[in-house]
Amino acid sequence: MRAKLLKYMLCVCCTATLFAAGCSAQVPPPRADKELRVGAEVMLAGEYAIFPPSRVAVVGNQTSVVGGTHLVDTLLGQGVRVVKIFCPEHGFRGTAAAGAKVDNSVDSATGLPIVSLYGKNKKPTPAQLADVDVVIFDLQDVGCRFYTYLSTLHYVMEACAESGKSLLVLDRPNPNGHYVDGPVLDTARLRSFVGMHPVPIVYGMTIGEYARMINGEGWLAGGKRCRLGVVPMRGYVRDSVYALPVPPSPNLRNAHAVALYPSLCLFEGTNVSVGRGTDWPFEVIGTPFSTVWDRGSTFGEQKAPAMVFTPQGGKKCFGIDLRGVEPLPCIDLSWLRMMYSLSRPGMFFLKNNFFDKLAGTTELRLQLERGAGEEEIRTSWQEGLERFKEVRHRYLMYPDADEAGAR
């Protein structure tokens, strides 16, 4: 295995989604595809690997595993010269809460230095890359623009481009890769660490495809291009739902929460709790600022049972239990519109503009405030989505289910 792994030189990659006004289609069933091999497995099989003299840094966390063994341990066992680890939000072992400070440290298992890429040091510095030849990026994305691993990818690519280092992205499945939806980010006004690129909330691409898009569209500072290689998966079909073997972050604990995340994360910019601090994060929603549930009643023809829970902060929340709800292959606007209608005037949106940053536009907030219907909201997304589809198509590496079946 070691001989195969060290044999190959680093390569450089060159190079009918749902947009209806309504959304009622069913999510395809989860796949347990035994033939699927993620990029790390493909690399370790010797089909695409790094060259022997390279000093390697790994951008990884708890999801960077192959067959239950961490990629860093596997590389060291195969004689690869790993010199340091970079870690994103939530830390190298994935235990830090969202937004929590992640400090530099040392990995107890390997003795390697761990450099945090969250907080003030979001981008590797030239000094941190001085003893590195190749950076290997292996993080599990969930297919949403506001998931910060994308921003970490951007800054790593930018640092590599500026320092003349090579970057190898090991591709992994996108559990929300079977659809594209949501408003496209207004980068002129709302660019932030929870959204850096002109893409919709759900973009339907793997992280390897996304890296190619960042490079190809010139989105790095000064239009620089990273010396980029993407190790593709084998046996991946985009129009399927994959259950991830390892939770990608502390509050996305199961496939159901991952599927609801594109719809529910917008509540992070409001006074509605998504259940952080409970046993069901991103599977429940509720608020202490309700004009209805605080009197013990329920609302209309709700699609899920009422629920009372106490999240972080200790304020009792009245809301809905979504654990039995089947996620739709689109952003479900019904929860957002309903919770806004139930909140006390002026008590829904946080005052820090975070909702607009998550949505990527000011328009969605204004539409909710004036009571716009779902069809109007979805229609306002279409022009941006169509433009994005044209961009996206240039960087896709995998077939849709129909294309795969025809081969």
Last residue of a domain, one of 243, 267, 287: 243
Q: Are residues 129 and 234 in the same domain?
A: yes
Question: Which residue shows structure tokens 């509540």?
Answer: 267
| C-alpha distances out from residue 404 to 5, 235, 329, 390, 401, Å | 29, 9, 20, 21, 5
Residue 93: predicted pLDDT: 61
pLDDT tens for each residue of 181-229: 999 999 999 999 999 999 999 999 999 999 999 999 999 999 999 999 9
pLDDT tens digits for range 336-392 = 999 999 888 899 999 999 999 999 999 999 999 999 999 999 999 999 999 999 999
Which pLDDT value is given to residue 367? 98
The CA distance from 128 to 137, in Å, is 15
Same domain for 234 and 307: no
176/296 same-domain check:
no
**Bridge partners for 330 per DSSP:** none
pLDDT, tens digit (0-9, with 9 covering 90-100), for 1-10: 444 433 332 3
What pTM was estimated for this model as a whole?
Answer: 0.89
Residues 187 and 267 in one domain: no
The pLDDT value recorded for residue 9 is 27
Judge contact between 159 and 123, C-beta under 8 A: yes
Q: Is residue 277 part of a domain?
A: yes
CATH code at position 214: 3.40.50.12170
Statement: residue 329 has pLDDT above 80:
yes
Is residue 135, in this structure, part of any structural domain at all? yes
Do 197 and 338 lie in a common domain?
no
Two tokens, residue 142? 């969930």
80 and 191 in a single domain? The answer is yes
- Domain membership of residue 146 as a residue range: 2-17+35-243
Which range has the worst mean pLDDT, 54-63, 98-107, 128-137, 327-336? 98-107
- pLDDT recorded at residue 10: 34
What percentage of the chain exceeds 70 in pLDDT? 82
**Same structural domain, 145 and 286:** no
Q: Give the confidence band of 263 by pLDDT, cuts at 50, 70, 90.
A: very high
For residues 127 and 77, membership in a common domain is answered with yes
SS3 160: helix
Give, as one character, the DSSP assignment of residue 372.
-
pLDDT at 178 over 80: yes
CA dihedral 201, 202, 204, 210 (to 10 degrees): 30
When divided into structural domains, the chain yields a total of 2
Is there a single domain that holds both residue 265 and residue 365?
yes
Q: Give the domain-ending residue among 186, 218, 243.
A: 243
